[in-house]
Structure formats: C-alpha cells, structure tokens
Amino acid sequence: MNITKEQVDDLNAIVTVALSKEDYSDKVDSTLDNYRKTADIPGFRKGHVPMGMVKKQYGKAVLVDEVNKLLQEALNNFLTEEKLDVLGNPLPKPQDELDWDAEELLFQFELGLAPTFDIEFGKDAVTHYKVVADDKMLDEQIERIQKQFGKLVGQKEVIKDAEITATFVNEEKEINNKATFTFDKIKSEEAAEKLLGTKIGETVALSTNGLFADDHDLMEVLKVSHDDAHGLDIEVTATIEEVNTRELAELNQELFDKLFGEGVVTTLEEVKAKIKEDAEKQFVQQSDQKLLNDVTEGLIGNTSFDLPAEFLIKWLQASGEQPLTEEQAKEEYEKAEKGLRYQLIEGKIIKDNDLQVTFDELKDFAKDYIKIQMAQFGQLDPADEEVENVAMRIMSNQEEVKRLSEQLMSQKMITFFKDNGNLTEKEVSYEDFVKEAYS
C-alpha cells in the first residue's frame, strides 16, 4: 500500500491510495472461505460448495467490501499521522471504469482543509451589561408577592385589577378552554371595554388579534400551539366563570417566614436585599449570554479567513441521507457557513488556551447542577453520597453529558472573553437592559 498527498492549494488536497493485491487478497480469501462453509446452494451439501462457484457468486461483492474497509482504515490512519485538520470527510473522486482484477488499484480522495488564521476581537468594544434590580423593580416584586399571598375577594362583575376565569370557545378552530388571566394582560382597548362590567355567567365576543400584549398569553388562554398563536385573527366567545380581586398580604414576619424561612429576614429592607441579590444572580446569566452572543458575532465579523467552499458544497451534496442538487447544497452551505466559521474560531481558542473540558471538571459541574435542582425542591443540604450517585447516573447518559459539556464550555468561553476581550461595562436596570439588548 502506498499513500501520497498532493497539495492543490492552502485549502484543498488530493490523497492517492495505491493498493496491491497483496494488501487485500488474504482478507478476501478468508471471507470467501467462510462463505463456502456456510453457503446454502441447491445441489450441494453445506460446506462442500466448490470455491469457484462461491467466487463467481460472491467474489466481486466481497472484494469491494474488503477494499472499502481497507481504504477507510488507511485514510483515517493517514489523516491522524499527518495531523491533517480536515473539514467534512474525504470525497472519493469518481472513476468510470475500475478494473478490479488489476494488480494495483488506485483511488483518489479530495480533502477540504481547515484554514489557518489569527483570532481578531476587533477595535470596537463590546458592551458587558451589569444588570441591577432598581427600586422600581423591587417595589413591583414586593407587590406581586403581596398579591400572591393575599386573600381572594370574589366580585360579581369584571373590574380593573381583577383575576378573571373564563371559558373561551371557537368551534371552527376546536377551541374550548377554561383559563385564568389578569385584566392588566389585556392589550386591546376594544376587548377591555367589552369585558369591564361583564357579570359572572355572561358571554362576550372577543377578537384574538392584539388581545394580549404577548402572544404567549394567547397560547395559554386558548391552549393553541406556538405557531397558531402568532398572528391568530379569529373571534372567540368568552363566558365569565369567576372574577376575583386580591387583598394584598400584610408585610409582616409571618409573610417573611413563608418566603425565606423562619427568622431569616425580619425587616422589609432585608426582604428587598434578598430579592435584589437573587434577581441579580439571574441577571448575570442573561448578561453573560448576551455577552457571548455579541462577542461571537464580533469574532465572526472580524476574524477573516477563507473556506474550501467548493469542496464543502460537493461534500454536502453527497453526505446527506438524500442526495442534494448543487443549488440545494449551495443553499445549505450558505445557511451553515456562519456556524462553521464560529466552530473553527472556538476550536482554535479552546486549543490555543487549553480550555478543554476534563472529566473531573464535568463531574463537579454536574454535582453543582444537581445541588441547585435539589435546593429547588427543598433539599438544601443533600448528602455527598447521594449527590455522587446522581452525578454518576448523569455521567452515564450520553445526551446529558453532551448537554452539560456544552454548558460548561460556554462558561469557559465567557470567562475567557471577559479576561481577554475588548469589553466596556455598563450598569443598567433590567428594563433598560431588555430595551438595549433585545430591541
């Protein structure tokens, strides 16, 4: 066997594999001998079929199969030994007529090579938001808590600030759902006017177009799919089943103990401090994700390199379950190009800065995740042995390992960007963060 590489350009190469009969003949003969022992051919006892007949019936198929196995192994070893960083998989060059009886068989494979490049963050600083819970948010959260733990007061008709339970019906769309919502969720002025003053047991017709400020509320109220809720413009009847207002719970020690445990906080200022602390922990995750997205976009835009596009389009044509036309493959390549560029950039950052996820790191990460999950169900101090057992079960599940590995790598990348990126910190309220970051 002889393998050689011809460098076409920086991003493309051709590998030629020359196989002689000695490379595969023993394997072919051994496989055919096994076929002979087990072949069930009319007129012959099992194990006594003439080898000539076995070769005539199975020889070509066995030869092709053994050669393909040998080629695959040889290519994999060659790519590893030569330390070639390839994109996609080697593509066999078409051969119209191959003489399988020849003393030497020649096969050629096209390679798409990963580019070499330097990481460029760009001159423009990326905003790293520090999101704070301001007084307005804290006051709103306190009021929500008071409502949540407050006493329901029944009403005879719909009034502002009410919780409304109604049955929504539309026969054509097969909608028949009972749901509870608050009056302040209603966006449509026309719907608000119709609902105000409607008594329990009465029915009003409402248009779903712009009924709520958020279409996700429409999903919950009508129990329709996400796709159906967006842009839904039909008329539904709403029969009022129940109307309640909430008498705000008193801000006293009994409420504080319900929220945080007995004696943990004793004043309203301490309650606000706890809410602020918990909220800002959540904000860090959102701010970090925004940072990751923004730095990623900047890296893709500022880090310039070419890709073996022609090779990758051909590879996409041939690699899927169903063959693609050249036009279809070009469309798929255009969709995937941005993601591929970031994979290469991320891979280089990981390699150059030794950011690989180790087994021990992943196990510790899984343990921390388990403890957070347990705490949400009231198990604040689980035994180490229990956490260890759950962690090992998770580590035996490939899907869970993949998910946690991606989360841990995201954390490592965020830390790297904070330490090495061109960032400028900006302190904002959550309301302003949402406006600036997602408008």
User: pLDDT tens-digit profile of 67-105?
Assistant: 999 999 999 999 999 999 999 999 999 887 888 888 899
Q: Are 24 and 70 in contact (CB under 8 A)?
A: yes
| Runs of H (alpha helix) within 103-236 | 135-148, 189-195, 215-222, 226-229
Q: Which amino acid, one-letter code, is at 275?
A: I
Is 170 buried (19+), middle (13-18) or exposed (0-12) by CB count in 10 A? middle
- Quick one: CA dihedral 20, 24, 26, 29, positive or negative? negative
- DSSP code string of 64-87: HHHHHHHHHHHHHHHHHHTT--EE
What pLDDT, on the 0 to 100 scale, is given for residue 41?
Answer: 74
What pLDDT, on the 0 to 100 scale, is given for residue 191?
Answer: 95
What pLDDT, on the 0 to 100 scale, is given for residue 162?
Answer: 93
Residue 392 domain-assigned (yes or no): yes
Residue 143 domain-assigned (yes or no): no
pTM of this structure: 0.72
Residue 173 domain-assigned (yes or no): yes
Tokens of 64: 């092709």
Q: Are 350 and 405 in contact (CB under 8 A)?
A: no
What pLDDT, on the 0 to 100 scale, is given for residue 35?
Answer: 80
Task: For residues 332 and 237, state if they share a domain.
Answer: no
Q: What is the CATH number of the domain that holds 12?
A: 3.30.70.1050
Task: Give me the phi and psi of 121, to 5 degrees please.
Answer: -80, -25
The neighbouring-strand residues paired with 235 are 207
C-alpha separations of 439 from 56, 287, 429, 433 in Å: 71, 15, 15, 10
Quote the domain boundaries for residue 184.
151-247
What span, in angstroms and rounded, lies between the C-alpha atoms of 89 and 222? 48
What pLDDT, on the 0 to 100 scale, is given for residue 381?
Answer: 79
Number of domains the chain contains: 3
What pLDDT, on the 0 to 100 scale, is given for residue 10?
Answer: 95
Intervals of the chain under pLDDT 70: none
What span, in angstroms and rounded, lies between the C-alpha atoms of 302 and 64? 47
Task: Tell which of 113, 132, 161 closes a domain.
Answer: 113
What pLDDT, on the 0 to 100 scale, is given for residue 200?
Answer: 96
What pLDDT, on the 0 to 100 scale, is given for residue 261?
Answer: 87
